[in-house]
Amino acid sequence: MSNFGRHFQVVFDNSPVGMAILDSEGRFLYTNRALQRMFGYSKDELHARPFFEFLLPDDTEELTSQFAKIVEKENSHVRSESRYLPRDQHEAWARF
């Protein structure tokens, strides 16, 4: 692993900001502890479900549309404020 890769891993793992890397289908590949705490699920529980299952239905369509554009290489990033349901089922907001 390069120095950059090691530095990225340390920043990702220790960030106070919830972070995730998704595959092209929207499944979690990597999540950090901050995201796991934010959602209220363990790493294994998060990785067992697609990211979009955590969003409120009214917010899913817009974010999945933006995500598809990234996968199709029409966009390089998503910027959205969307609602999700953590384990405790109290609606929460996050910037994606």
57/45 Cα distance (integer angstroms): 20
pLDDT of 80:
82
Residuewise pLDDT in 10s, the chain (96 residues)? 788 899 999 999 999 999 999 999 999 999 999 999 999 999 999 999 999 999 999 889 888 888 888 888 887 777 788 999 999 999 999 887
pLDDT of 7:
94
pLDDT of 16:
97
DSSP state of 75: -
